Chain A
Amino acid sequence: MTLRGQLAIISIPVIAFMLMPVMVVLGIAFGESANFEFPPSSLSLRWFYSFMETAGFSDSLFYVSLPLGIASAAAATAIGTLAAIAAVRFRFVSNRLLELLFLTPLIYPQILMGVGLFLLYARLNITPSLLTLGGAHVLIGCPYVVRTVIAGLVGIDPKLEEAARNLGASPVKAFWLATFPLLRSSILSGAIFAFIVSFSDINLALFLSIVNTVTLPVQIMSQMRFVSDPTIAAAAALQIVVISALLVIVNRLIGLVRP
């Protein structure tokens, strides 16, 4: 058997381990039983109905997490796309260093970003709101947009823009007519990533969300210890379903193989 075949067999339990918590959450959320039975003996959507009827959960999804994610993804997409264009198409003292700076929010520990902002807001007497949390979410979404858009831009033949200029388009118009249409799927993918990052964030929200801006992950976290029935599993499963569906869309758009 080939090396790849042998390692593929070894990989199966590892991948199962990676997917285990996700699978258990899905199984229990879609199961009929109220006793956290896994694997479920029968399927039902009752815990999702229960989720909808529990104001704490459904409010945090529809009034906090979704609008927060959409708004911060939109902002991150605009900001990140501009930055990516700057990094790829323009000359700076060191473009390498600039790209590194653009990726810092990715490696900077989110818990410290959360603490730092919490202290800052408190000292400046800024009342926490969806806006203050959203600002932080925009920042952690940006590097994903920057990365996908840079990858997209690098993959577009610069000769296309030159051709457009040769045919009479000014540099800005050439970018808009020749490059931008090809960049749309990368930008959309970046936007989706930015949304996911906001949608699944816990470390920032732990410090920055207050009573009326409780995001879905924070709600799950705080309810976990008092878990009484699989409604919370339905909440967690919704996260998984939304994120998986979005990942499949990204895969259609640009392919995840080279993210």
Chain B
Amino acid sequence: MSSVSPRLDHPVKYALFLPYAAMIFCFLIVPMAGLVEVSFRQQSSVRITGLGFTLANYARVGDPFYLGILFDTLRLSMISAAMAAILGYPVAYVLARSSGRAKTVLIVAIMIPLMTSVVVKVFGWYIILEPSGVINALSRAVGWGRWNLLHNEIAVVAGLVEFSLPFMVLSLSASIERIPRNVEEAAGNLGAGPWRVMARVVLPMSRAGLLSGYLLCVGVSSSAYVVPAIMGGTRVRMVGQQIYDDVLVGFDWPSASAMSVVLVLILSLIFYAAMRIGPKAA
């Protein structure tokens, strides 16, 4: 007979969440509104924030160049999210079904790459893959010569997979944990072998978590900047790089703003879908 104590209703509640709400307003909503505004301005050499009103910036998103970047961004994100799902599923299962010390070690092994700066990890990949890097040193030692392993799509995908794996594993294992263990035991007791239990019980029951984890990773990857910028160089181009270059190199703020707004819309759609499908994925 435990009765949950009801939530209080007192004006002090507004004072409690006001500081955070103000932060969100000032550092998230206002800048976003600024981007939306600039995205409707004409480019101008006089004023960097543009002049007048135009839809040309959005029309330009339809250009083959920009459309190609958007398409590549989604394509690479989807490929790497799929790979993260395939690679991450076994880890997520083991994490969900471990306990005690093993679980702690596993979670630390997943949290370290999750919390470490993406720059540090990309630097790690850089010294692994670069022409005088770790792999090439091995390759030369065996007599296979020197390879340019950076600045191609495979390098970018490898970086994105590694970047999104922790998100995938944590979101998947949360949904696998919700499958009662005795459901698996029951399937085993009825004569299903381990792999059949996986295919017929665990996988179907974690479908929602898999899908929402996938969408989460697509979202996280499609706004990536550092991974494609370093691993892809000038050969691979994703939305993040284009926005960065338009702002800091080309000073074309209206274009960058329009692209940003488009990216926000796409991501909102993806995250909304992820939230509707999976229970509390992020």
State if A and B touch, Cβ cutoff 8 Å: yes
- When chains A and B are docked, how far (Å) is the Cα of A202 from the Cα of B48? 25
B35 in the interface (beta carbon within 8 A): yes
Asked if B30 lies at the interface with its beta carbon under 8 angstroms from chain A, I say: yes
For A115, give its contact among B20, B247, B282 (CB under 8 Å): B247
Q: Which residues of B contact A135 (CB under 8 A)?
A: 23, 26-27
B264→A109 contact, CB < 8 A = yes
A164 part of interface (Cβ distance < 8 Å)? no
Residue contact A120 to B120, C-beta cutoff 8 Å: no
* A146 near B20: Cβ-Cβ < 8 Å: yes
Whether the Cβ atoms of B16 and A138 lie closer than 8 Å is no
In the bound complex, residues from chain B placing their C-beta under 8 Å from that of A8 are 90, 94
B226 to chain A, nearest CB (A): 6
CB distance from B162 to the nearest CB of A (A): 6
B27 touches A21 (CB 8 A): no
Write out the residue numbers on chain A whose beta carbons fall within 8 Å of the beta carbon of B120: 21-22, 25, 200, 217, 220, 236, 239-240
Does A54 reach chain B (CB closer than 8 Å)?
Answer: no
B142 cross-chain contacts in A, Cβ below 8 A? none
- The 8 A CB mask of B1-24 against A (1 = contact, 0 = none) is 000111111101100110111011
Q: Which of B4, B28, B88, B230 contacts A224 (CB 8 A)?
A: B230
Q: Is the interface of A mostly helix, strand, loop or mixed?
A: helix
Contact between chains at B244 and A206 (CB < 8 Å): yes
Contact residues of A between 1 and 44, Cβ < 8 Å to B: 1-4, 6-8, 10-11, 14-15, 17-25, 28, 36-38
A107 sits at the interface (CB 8 A): yes
Question: Which chain A residues (69-99) contact chain B, with CB distance < 8 Å?
Answer: 78-80, 82-83, 85-92, 95, 98
Per the 8 Å Cβ criterion, residues 143-185 of A in contact with B are 146, 158-159, 161-162, 171
Known: A83-B21, A119-B31, A142-B20. 6 other contacts (CB 8 A): A14-B87, A25-B120, A90-B9, A113-B31, A139-B24, A244-B108
17 examples of A-B residue contacts, CB within 8 angstroms: A7-B93, A19-B112, A21-B123, A25-B123, A79-B20, A80-B20, A83-B21, A86-B17, A116-B34, A117-B31, A123-B49, A139-B27, A197-B115, A200-B115, A224-B119, A244-B112, A257-B104
